[in-house]
Every structure is written in C-alpha cells, then in structure tokens.
Chain A
C-alpha cells in the first residue's frame, strides 16, 4: 500500500499536473468557437467542473468547465478570440508548478488532428440505416462496450440538441442519438396516427442495431416516445429520464407547435423559438437559421403536421404515460426547467413517489442545454445505476 502511494507521489513529482482547458466540440458542425467571456481571472482558484469560460459557437453560447482543480495560470486566448476545436484556451495547474513548466506546456501543445477526414467537419459522423422502411440518421459514439444510452430529441429538434450532453457521457457510455423520422437527416415521409407508432419505429431501429439494454433519455416529444417504447418492450429500458417531457400531463403550448410549423421567415420563427429558452440571448441568428434550413427541406412541414396531430388533440396532449409509469419497475427520473413555456413544469408534481424529480430555476424547455452541467450529472448518475 505504501509502495503504491509512494510511487504515485513520485510520478506526480516527475510529471506535474498541468491541465489544458481546450476548445470543446459542441455539435457535429462545430469547427471553431469564440471566447465570449472569461469567468475566472488569471491566478484565480478553480475546482474541477467549475465554469471558467463562456464559449460562443455559431449556434449557441455555453459555459465551459475546468477539467481539474488548481489555479488558472494562463489564459491563452483573449475575450473575442476565435480558435478551432481542440485549441488550448487556458492552463490550470497547481501553484507549485513553475512558470517555466507552464510555458513549456503551452509551447509544446499540439492541436489534435481532426478525427474525420471529411473536409471542413471535425465532429463525429452520423450513420444511416433503414429499419422497417424508415431511414434513420443516428449518432453512435462513445465507449463501444459501455452501457447504451439512447437520446431522443423533441419536436422540431435533432440529435444536435444533445451537443452539450454527449461530450459529458461519451467516456462512460455508448451513445445512440437519433434523428426522429421527419427530423434532422432522417427520412421525412411518415404515416402515423399516434405517438405509439413512432415508439414502435424507434424499437425497430434499436432491434436493427442489436441493442438489448439501454438507458432511455427523451426530451419533450422524445420523452413521450421513449416512455412509450419502454412500456411497449419491458426489459429493454434499464432507466428512463424524461426532460421537459410530453406524456406527463394535458397541457402543452399548441401555439408553439403550430407557430413552428407555419413560420417560413426568420422574423416569424424567431419569437417561436424564443419560447424554448429562459435566457433569450441563447436564441442566436444562426440557431434560427439552422432551423429555417431544416424547415425548408422537402417533406418537413408535412411530417411535423402529422406528428403534431399525433401529439395534440384540441390543444391537449393525447398521450399519457402516467397510468403505467409506476408499473415500469425501473428508475425513472424527471427533469424540468421551471420556466418551461412549452410543457409546464407543474407536470413534475403528482408523479408516483418512485419517480426522482429534478427542477431547475432559471431554465426553460431546453433545460438540458441551459443547465447542461447539472443535467449531465443526473444522466451520469442514471447510467452508473
């Protein structure tokens, strides 16, 4: 025991702990990011996981954390600087580490090569598979032999909605993030009457991928779908995490759904999308532009209309998971932003006592993006069991 302790100590002495804070990769299309603001000054103490810098991508701004505890010894980039994914932003180290060693670390830092040969994109590449006549676009990344986590986005979203989620989970789990039919790069032709049919389509995809056990995570519409899938195939889901989820009450902002479908111009879409976030500064021009580009694709308007009809009837949700939730006998977690304007957070009350509820102040419907760190911690716990 002493030997082990001793050797690890001598290792530390030989290799002082210097940690680089590097430009994160949020989303498939992120190539570079901008330092929007420094949250910790040079010389400031940081804990592991503390927010140190605000990073702005072309779509969204989010906080980025320190990978370790120590002193923020250097800020390599200034506020406003743009750098590629993987670039060194700051250096965190123990006060005992000399300035010369820090300088050597900085000058010796090599930008990691892009892990995809595809010109201009450096992120993971989604795959496509056809299961029961549906073309699915999905991301399959992370620890190949780890527990499987299935991430399902909400109405009008796509797998990129999990851009802040997968970097936190990919070390511990195999992540399957899907584009629902009618969304992202999945097939746009859908013919369904109820959400149970979408849940069944998801099950055929998981069958095609030979997945036998998975932690189900769904946001909004995706929550209702993973819930229905878990109920339809007992034994498949090992846990269920529902975020701002449909299927847990009657109310839903049908004007949001209708507005999202109808908007053809940026001016019309902007106020609709603004309903998703508590922090309006997150609704960037490029976020709206990305959604407009999605909505321009052939078949999207029809697909979204079909899904809305399957979701809502006379302004009320058609699907309820509530009667069957207690009978699932797996850990169920519910996460909500208290300022959710699409599906009200009051639905988190009145759930069976076995359900673990997490409510967040100052977060809206996109709580997994607005409070990514906290939501990721809950998901990590769910995966660890």
Chain B
C-alpha cells in the first residue's frame, strides 16, 4: 500500500472498474486531452489530470471527449446508462450543472420510479466543487444541497483519497444515478490507499474520531478542517467526535443521532451556502429526533450567504476554517442555560 493523491485514487478507481467491466465508459470535456491538444492525445486527462493515462489504456471508444455542451453529453450519458452502459461523466465544475438540470432531475432521477423499478440508470456524474482556488463565483460553489434535495439521486462527497477510491468504485457499481463531488483543493492530498479495488457502502457515515464533549459533523474537505480543530481542542481537554456522512443522499441518520446522544452537543460544518444546506438539514434532524440529548444549541459553521468572492482576502474569510470550527465548539461548551 502506498501513499496516493486524491487525483490518483480516483484515477485508479476508474481504471480498475474499466478493467473489470467493459460497460464502463468515460465521457467529458477534455478528459482525453481535448480536440487539437498538441502531441500525445493523452496530454491533459481533464482539467485536473484525473483521467490521465486512461485513453492510452482503454482507447477512444471508451474515453470519449465531448463538445462543450453539458446538456448534450449528460443527456447522452443518461440515455446510455438506461440502455446498458455504465458511463462516468466529467462535468468539470458543479457550477455548470444548471444547463442540464432537466436531464438529471427529471430524467435520470426518475427512471427507476417511473418504470416501477424495471429501469436502472447507472450513471456517475463527476464534478468539482468548492472554494479556495481563487476561481471566483462561477467556479467555487458547492451546490450539493441542490442534488441532495432530489429523490432518486445519490450524492457522494469524499473527504480523503482512501474515501475517494472506495466511494468511486461503489458509485460505478451502483445502479442509480450518482453525483460524485470532488473538492478542487483536495486533488493533491495524500493518504495510504490500497492498490486493490474496494468499495465503501453508501449511507454509512464514517466515525472519524470519537470523543466525549462535542459531535462535529463535517462534509468533504471540512472533515480535514474538523480534524485540525479537534487536535487543537484536545490540548485544552475538549474531546470531539467527528462524523463524516460520506453521502448526503442517502444520509446515515443513525450514526449522527447516536453521536449526538453520546456528546449532547453538535457543530455542523458545511462549505455550502448556509440557507437550505446540509448543515441546516442535519440540524433539523437532530432538533427533531435528539432534542432531549442536547445540552446546548446546535452550531452551524458555513460561509455567509454571499457568492464566493474572487478577492483572495475575502475568499479566505468566506471559506470555513479550523479556527472557526474551534470557536463554534468552544461556544457550545461555554453555553449555560
């Protein structure tokens, strides 16, 4: 087992499933290098290099470069999934998803339901999200709450390279449409990742750490920030449970509720805009089903309700960070009725 990057972990997942199942195909913009790419057509492997090397291994019939028309290739992928392939598409930035909402929300998400379980739609839509790369408002949003809102979609947000590989293989083998969200600031993160294929089931939260005082539920990159905060807090004798839901749909309510029952305090860290985000959803869940266990009000750590700023100084203030998580935890600890 070697240390691998988030990028490499996803690349390995794609390669091993393409090796295992000839029905797995890749579609997306520039994933093979792009029309007119100089020299070797494998030059790019997508804007972040995630699919690098795959066209050389599996050929242009299974690694399809598409025109810059999300509505067209996402629609094509969903149709291909309904008729027997397992396409993995790359929609570059989640911010661009709006142009193909009908294909995703009204078609892919509904087929199983509309056809009484006789149709399956095993499509994976990979997409980048999140702020921190100075990419401005139209390339820095999270938007996963929008997909989580739609019944019939599965929504996966890996928090580390190990998680990314296992969740991607599970996503490809899953018979439902899966939105797979990759934080753009995490591609170089490193972790021990097995060479072999493995799957992490959906709807099973990861108990990242177990503590006694406060439960922190964090999503995606925020899990790493929560770990940093928890380490600092531990020095002051505050021990935190950290829950990574892994998938916001399906959501592992039991693990979250059990953790809150144990600690009696909850901080939810979600990089998405605060209104109607996953933090709001989880806060509502806990207020509804574990109210009696709470010793203090639920704290939510999220950006303000504004577009991600392009100004580096403002963007740094926009994204939640370990210091803000720490502060929220201390507030829940200091609360007196």
Kindly list chain B residues whose C-beta atoms are within 8 Å of the C-beta of A297: 194, 196-198
User: Which of B65-73, B149-157, B199-207, B216-224 lies on the face that meets chain A?
Assistant: B199-207
**Within 8 Å CB of B200, what residues of A?**
296
**Beta-carbon contact of A264 and B197 below 8 Å:** no
Enumerate chain B residues within 8 angstroms of A298, measured Cβ to Cβ: 196-199
Q: Which residues of A contact B192 (CB under 8 A)?
A: 29, 120-121
Q: A28: nearest residue on chain B (CB-CB)?
A: B1
B166 to chain A minimum Cβ distance, whole angstroms, is 6
In the complex, which of the residues A29, A119, A293 contacts B198, with contact meaning CB atoms closer than 8 Å?
A293
Q: Is the CB of A185 within 8 A of B195?
A: yes
Q: In whole angstroms, how far apart are the Cα atoms of A293 and B197 in the complex?
A: 11
B196 and A119 contacting across the interface, CB-CB below 8 Å: no
Question: Are the CB atoms of A265 and B204 closer together than 8 Å?
Answer: yes
Q: With the chains together, A285 CA to B198 CA distance in Å?
A: 20
Q: Does B186 contact A (CB under 8 A)?
A: no
Contacts of B262 in A (CB 8 A): none
B166 and A296 within 8 A (CB)? yes
C-alpha spacing A182/B204, complex, angstroms: 25
A119-B197 Cα distance, complex, nearest whole Å: 22
The listed residue with most A CB atoms (<10 A of its CB), out of B2, B166, B198, is B198
A188 within 8 A of B: yes
Cβ-based interface call for B190 (8 A): yes
Chain B residues with CB under 8 Å of A120's CB are 3, 190, 192
Whether A121 contacts B197 in the complex (CB less than 8 A), given A265-B204, A296-B166, comes out as no
Q: Is B261 an interface residue (CB 8 A)?
A: no
**In the complex, which residues of chain A have a beta carbon less than 8 angstroms from the beta carbon of B95?**
none
Q: Does B210 contact A (CB under 8 A)?
A: yes
Closest to B204 in A: A265
Asked if A324 is at the interface (CB within 8 A of a chain B CB), the reply is no
For B196, the chain A residues whose CB sits under 8 A away are 185, 188, 297-299
Contact size class for B?
Answer: 10 to 19
Contact of A293 among B194, B207, B209, B210 (CB under 8 A): B194
Identity of the chain A residue whose Cβ is nearest the Cβ of B166 in the assembled complex: A296
Please, which residues of chain A bring their CB within 8 A of the CB of B207?
266, 285
* Interface check A3, CB cutoff 8 A: no
| Residue from A185, A264, A266, A299 in contact with B1 in the complex, judged by beta carbons closer than 8 Å | A185
Compute how far the CA of A296 lies from the CA of B1 in the bound complex, rounded to whole angstroms.
15
Closest chain-B Cβ to A135's Cβ sits at a distance in Å of 10
- Given the interface pairs A119-B3, A120-B190, A120-B192, the reply to whether A285 lies near B197 with Cβ below 8 Å is no
The residue on A at minimum CB distance from B1 is A185
Q: In A270-299, which residues have CB < 8 Å from any B CB?
A: 285, 293, 296-299
Considering only residues 240-292 of chain A, those with a C-beta below 8 Å from chain B are: 264-266, 285
Q: Does A118 contact B (CB under 8 A)?
A: yes
| Contacting pair B198 A296 (CB below 8 A) | yes
Contact with A along B1-23 (1 / 0, CB 8 A): 11100000000000000000000
Q: Which residue from chain A places its CB closest to the CB of B3 in the assembled complex?
A: A120
Give the nearest-CB partner of B258 in chain A. Answer: A267
Measured between alpha carbons, how far is A120 from B191 in the docked complex, in Å? 9
Residues of A within 8 A of B199 (CB): 296, 298
Query: Which of A118, A121, A298, A299: most chain B CB closer than 10 A?
Result: A298
A118 B194 Cβ-Cβ under 8 A: no
* Cα A46 to Cα B197 with chains together (Å): 49
Within 8 A of B (CB), among A173-232: 185, 188
Contacting residues, chain B, for A293 (C-beta < 8 A): 162, 194, 198
Central interface residue in B162, B196, B201, B210, by most chain A CB within 10 Å: B196
Asked if B3 contacts A285 (CB within 8 A), the reply is: no
Interface centre among B1, B2, B195, by most chain A C-beta atoms within 10 angstroms, is B1
Q: What chain A residues lie within 8 Å of B194 (beta carbons)?
A: 185, 293, 297
In the complex, chain A residues whose CB is within 8 Å of the CB of B3: 118-121
Which A residues are in CB contact (< 8 Å) with B2?
Answer: 118
Q: Across the interface, which residues of A come within 8 angstroms of B204, CB to CB?
A: 264-265
Question: Which B-chain residue is minimally distant from A265 (CB atoms)?
Answer: B204
Once bound together, how far apart are the Cα atoms of A188 and B197, in whole Å? 11
User: How far apart sit A265 and B201, CA to CA, in the bound complex (Å)?
Assistant: 9
**Docked complex Cα distance between A329 and B190 (Å):** 52
A180 to chain B, nearest CB (A): 15
User: What are the residues of chain B within 8 A of A119 when measuring CB–CB?
Assistant: 3, 190
**1/0 contact string of A98-132 vs chain B (CB within 8 Å):** 00000000000000000000111100000000000
Q: Contact partner of A285 among B166, B195, B210, CB < 8 A?
A: B210
Within the assembled complex, what's the spacing in Å between the Cα atoms of A84 and B317? Answer: 34
18 more contacts with CB within 8 A, not counting A296-B166, A297-B196, are A118-B2, A118-B3, A119-B3, A121-B3, A185-B1, A188-B196, A264-B201, A266-B207, A285-B209, A285-B210, A293-B162, A293-B194, A296-B199, A296-B200, A297-B194, A297-B197, A298-B197, A299-B196
Q: Which 7 A-B pairs have the closest CB atoms?
A: A296-B198, A298-B197, A297-B198, A120-B3, A297-B196, A119-B3, A285-B210
What would be 8 A-B contacts, judged by CB atoms less than 8 Å apart? Answer: A29-B192, A119-B190, A121-B192, A188-B196, A266-B207, A293-B194, A298-B198, A299-B196
